[in-house]
Amino acid sequence: MGKMLSNGVKFLLTTLLIIAIGFLLFVANKTASEYVILILNLMAINIIFAVSLTLINGITGIFSLGHAGFIAIGAYVSTLLTLPVAQKEMTFLIKPLIYPLNQIQLPFLPATIIAGLIAAGFGYVVAAPSLRLIGDYLAIATLGLGETIRIIANNAWSITNGALGLKAIPPYTNIYWSWGWAFATVFVIASLVKSSYGRALKAIREDSIAAKAMGINVFSHQVMSFVLGSFFAGVGGALWAHLITTIDPKSFAFTKTFEILIMVVLGGLGSISGAIIGASIYTVGLEFLRVLESPFKFGFINFPGIPGMRMVVLSVLLIILMLFWQRGIMGRNELSWDLLYGFVTKRLKKRGGKND
Amino acid sequence: MNFAAFLQHLINALSLGGIYALIAIGYTMVYGILRLINFAHGDVFTYGIYLAFYGVVLFLMPWWIAFIFSIFATAFLGALIERIAYKPLRNAPRISALITAIGVSFFLQNFATVVFGGRAKSFNPQTGIYPTSFLAMIEIGAVKIPVLTLLTLSIAIVSMILLMWIVYKTKVGMAMRAISKDIPATRLMGVNADRIITFTFILGSGLAAIGGILWAMKYPQVYPYTGMIPGLKAFIAAVVGGIGSIQGAMVGGFILGVSEIMIVAFVPSLAGYRDAFAYAILLFVLLVKPTGILGVEVSEKV
């Protein structure tokens, strides 16, 4: 299947798609219930998480399990910047907040960007030692780093308010912020993957030694991918904090990374469009699974609601997915206009064949 | 700090290290054979505690029968997990097996929340789970040591000696060592590799149950996430000692246990960071000698 559509047509189609989604979101924002809007926001944020993890895990082949740590950094940094000064005084009861932070209050956009940058900076610092490791060791080291960030957040009372967490965060996140950032994330990461850098990253994933032999600087490429992934994880964390409005160290436990991993695996490890699909299905599916936790009637039998049941179902689903359907929805393929075009023309030809 | 206090801390640290070592052995044996980080191992440990707890509380067994029952039942659980979740993936990419292991771990935690409830269950002798006489103190001069601590240490050491005997002196052990070198070649020698792998899981999970019960006596409660932190630390111990090596797991376990207790004893203000400290050791060891203290260097091939 070669190129079937010219670049101009594809650009037009993409623009139209984005406008269409934008319009739908605009309508949803005006008419849908608060609950639906919340889910839409969560979906966008999960897309940011999943796509950024895909860049690190799926495209570059660094099996990082520390994503929750970067999300935590993003959430805490942005919150400390946007919380009103009076609110900070009320929140930090046990130990007051340290100096520059207790005096400043920034608007949402700069706070988000700074959150992303600090997460990226941290990713840079962390990447240097961890990327010397390979495979499972790297997975464990990043898991450890993620957990360490959480433990620090739990103990650094004068910065994070410790185990009590931060409350009454201004609910700045709305459809436009979350989906705007989601589009930006997908655009930046997809462009990177399509560029020569992206091909280098994939070469590293397949065989880092062969990639090195081809003249690719493996280490600097891995660091770049890790830092970019951390940036968007931080941004996602900022959006998430301003959506749920309370954060504490427990929200960033390993479970968070695990959830994102499920999205990525469901969509297909190594596919950006897969990550988007996986994140969307996961977000909506989790809401549908809520049924399991509320009492319901099945025929004559009354099932009492069992709290925690949907997590059981979710983990069983992941195991089944890995046992029988490892490649996920997209595998390593990307959803593209060419693919869609090929699919449609094939269908049309089939129908044409019947008419003959 | 005087010498008596130091000795007390040391014995306490060694008993904690012994528990870490028991769990770490399970990680290291599975990794040595399948190159798989068995993320579910920490939760198998939790189930060991739950089974012992319900053996006494629900089935009204005498405590020692309940504990032995728990060890065997947990071993069976480990074998079951291997058969259902890991065996079908033996030839799959290793990343799939790793994700499955994370999935099993998540499942065990959430299943425990649903079935046993999320609230912590108290595991102390007042509820009759084990004799109160374990809490008595032995005094040797100025050194005061609880019976339980000594018991923990000795049970951990006896279990480890037993394991070493199985691995190095029996035929099954020989097969286990052979499999960790080369599975197809071992098959050609007429060894049923699948059975040996299952046996490895049985051994590892049994040790995890022993570790779990000892842990619960030390920190007397159990909830669905009990195994997470000790599991992670034991894994770190396995990596620090050199993953794949049983002696390494023991060394790593004791290093971790001793340094954790000593840090808290000497610098109490860092007590909140005791869990992060294990990661610091991990990173340090990985950067200095990525294969761990007793690990074997494996060169990367093209």
**Domain CATH for A280:** 1.10.3470
Contact B134, B151 (CB under 8 A): yes
A210 contacts in chain B (CB < 8 Å): 302
The yes-or-no verdict on residue A145 having pLDDT over 80 is yes
- Look at residue A28 and tell me if it is in a domain: yes
Structurally, how many domains does chain A consist of? 1
Whether B60 has its CB under 8 Å from any CB of chain A: the answer is: no
Q: In degrees, to the nearest 5, what angle opens at C-alpha A322 toward C-alphas A320 and A323?
A: 65
Interface test with A, best of B108, B109, B279, B284 (most A CBs within 10 A): B279
What is B182-219 written as a DSSP string?
-HHHHHHTT--HHHHHHHHHHHHHHHHHHHHHHHHHHS
- Express each pLDDT in B42-79 by its tens digit: 999 999 999 999 998 888 888 889 999 999 999 999 99
Kindly list the structural domains of chain B, giving each domain's residue range(s) and its CATH number in brackets, ordered by start.
3-117+146-288 (1.10.3470)
The yes-or-no verdict on residue A356 having pLDDT over 50 is no
How far away is chain A from the Cα of B28, in angstroms, using its nearest Cα? 13
Contact A62, A229 (CB under 8 A): no
- Look at residue A354 and tell me if it is in a domain: no
Mean pLDDT confidence for A77-87: 88
Angle between helices A254-267 and A272-288 (to 10 degrees): 120
Asked whether the beta carbons of residue B272 and residue A151 sit closer than 8 angstroms, the reply is: yes
Interface test with B, best of A254, A315, A316, A327 (most B CBs within 10 A): A315
With 0-12 / 13-18 / 19 or more C-beta atoms within 10 angstroms meaning exposed / middle / buried, residue A350 is exposed
| pLDDT for B126 | 77
Asked whether the beta carbons of residue A315 and residue B107 sit closer than 8 angstroms, the reply is: yes
- Express each pLDDT in A233-268 by its tens digit: 999 999 999 999 999 998 898 888 988 988 898 888
Contact B20, B253 (CB under 8 A): yes
Asked whether the beta carbons of residue B236 and residue A311 sit closer than 8 angstroms, the reply is: no
Asked whether the beta carbons of residue B102 and residue A261 sit closer than 8 angstroms, the reply is: yes
For A163, the closest chain B residue by CA position comes to B272
A289 contacts in chain B (CB < 8 Å): none
How far away is chain A from the Cα of B103, in angstroms, using its nearest Cα? 5
The yes-or-no verdict on residue A38 having pLDDT over 70 is yes
What backbone phi and psi angles, to 5 degrees, belong to A296?
A: -145, 165
Confidence band, pLDDT 50/70/90 cuts, at residue A304? low
- Look at residue A260 and tell me if it is in a domain: yes
Asked whether the beta carbons of residue B99 and residue A315 sit closer than 8 angstroms, the reply is: no
Q: Could you tell me the residue range of the domain that residue A185 belongs to?
A: 7-292+307-348
Confidence band, pLDDT 50/70/90 cuts, at residue A155? confident
Maximal CA-CA distance, chain B: 62
Contact A154, A16 (CB under 8 A): no
Whether B273 has its CB under 8 Å from any CB of chain A: the answer is: yes
B106 contacts in chain A (CB < 8 Å): 255, 258, 311, 314-315, 318
* pTM, full prediction: 0.87
- Look at residue A38 and tell me if it is in a domain: yes
| pLDDT for B95 | 79
| pLDDT for A270 | 86
B88 contacts in chain A (CB < 8 Å): 323
Contact B290, A133 (CB under 8 A): yes
- Look at residue A300 and tell me if it is in a domain: no
Find residue B121's DSSP bridge partners.
Answer: B222
Determine what percent of chain A is predicted with pLDDT higher than 90: 35
Contact A273, A335 (CB under 8 A): yes
For A261, the closest chain B residue by CA position comes to B99
Confidence band, pLDDT 50/70/90 cuts, at residue A1? very low
B111 contacts in chain A (CB < 8 Å): 312
Chain centroid, CA B45 distance in Å: 7
Whether B94 has its CB under 8 Å from any CB of chain A: the answer is: yes
Mean pLDDT confidence for A285-302: 74
Whether B188 has its CB under 8 Å from any CB of chain A: the answer is: no
Closest by Cβ to B279, choosing from A63, A148, A318: A148
d(CA A90, CA A104): 15
d(CA A248, CA A259): 18
| pLDDT for B197 | 93
DSSP class of A166: B
- Look at residue A297 and tell me if it is in a domain: no
- In the predicted model, what is the mean pLDDT of chain A? 86
Closest by Cβ to A133, choosing from B31, B235, B286: B286
d(CA A215, CA A193): 18
| pLDDT for B264 | 86
Asked whether the beta carbons of residue A148 and residue B276 sit closer than 8 angstroms, the reply is: yes
Closest by Cβ to A322, choosing from B96, B278, B279: B96
Count of A-B CB contacts under 8 Å: 112
Q: In degrees, to the nearest 5, what angle opens at C-alpha B77 toward C-alphas B73 and B82?
A: 150
Asked whether the beta carbons of residue B106 and residue A209 sit closer than 8 angstroms, the reply is: no
What's the residue count for chain A? 356
| pLDDT for A3 | 52
Backbone angle region of A245, left / alpha / beta, with phi > 0 → left and psi within -120 to 50 → alpha: left
Q: Kindly give, in sequence order, each residue whose CB lies less than 8 Å from that of residue A98, ignoring residues fewer than 6 positions away.
A: A158, A159
Q: Which residue has the higher pLDDT, A9 or A351?
A: A9
Nearest C-alpha neighbor of B89 from the set B104, B74, B72, B73 = B104
Closest by Cβ to B286, choosing from A137, A207, A255: A137
Least confident of A138-147, A301-310, B246-255: A301-310
Angle between helices A196-206 and A218-244 (to 10 degrees): 100
d(CA B160, CA B250): 8
Mean pLDDT confidence for A287-292: 80
With 0-12 / 13-18 / 19 or more C-beta atoms within 10 angstroms meaning exposed / middle / buried, residue B119 is exposed
Q: Residue A132 is encoded by which pair of tokens?
A: 């010397």
- Look at residue A299 and tell me if it is in a domain: no
Angle between helices B3-34 and B41-57 (to 10 degrees): 110
Least confident of A43-47, A303-307, A335-339, B192-196: A303-307
Confidence band, pLDDT 50/70/90 cuts, at residue A163? confident
Closest by Cβ to A306, choosing from B85, B114, B286: B114
Q: Which residue has the tokens 């290290």?
A: B17
Asked whether the beta carbons of residue B37 and residue A140 sit closer than 8 angstroms, the reply is: yes
Nearest C-alpha neighbor of B201 from the set B69, B46, B75 = B75
A-side interface with B, Cβ within 8 Å?
A: 63, 129, 132-137, 139-141, 143-145, 147-148, 151-152, 154-155, 207, 209-210, 213, 254-255, 258, 261, 265, 269, 306-309, 311-312, 314-316, 318-319, 322-323, 326
Contact B275, A150 (CB under 8 A): no
The yes-or-no verdict on residue A355 having pLDDT over 60 is no
How far away is chain B from the Cα of A114, in angstroms, using its nearest Cα? 26
SS3 at position B221: strand
Asked whether the beta carbons of residue A152 and residue B276 sit closer than 8 angstroms, the reply is: yes
Q: Is the dihedral of CA A124, A130, A133, A136 positive or negative?
A: negative
The yes-or-no verdict on residue A302 having pLDDT over 80 is no
Mean pLDDT confidence for A221-236: 95
Asked whether the beta carbons of residue B232 and residue A147 sit closer than 8 angstroms, the reply is: yes
DSSP H helical ranges for A83-217? 85-91, 99-103, 108-130, 135-155, 157-160, 175-194, 196-206, 208-213
How far away is chain B from the Cα of A130, in angstroms, using its nearest Cα? 8
Mean pLDDT confidence for A296-318: 74
Cβ within 8 Å of A, B 111-150: 111, 113-114, 118
Nearest C-alpha neighbor of A55 from the set A246, A270, A242, A260 = A270
d(CA B204, CA B197): 11
Contact A31, A165 (CB under 8 A): no
Q: Kindly give, in sequence order, each residue whose CB lies less than 8 Å from that of residue B41, ignoring residues fewer than 6 positions away.
A: B23, B26, B27, B30, B204, B205, B208, B227, B231, B234, B235
Instruction: Provide block-wise average pLDDT over 10 residues at a time, chain B (302 residues).
Output: 84 92 92 88 94 90 90 96 91 83 91 88 81 82 85 91 92 91 89 92 95 91 89 90 88 93 86 82 82 69 49
- Look at residue A74 and tell me if it is in a domain: yes
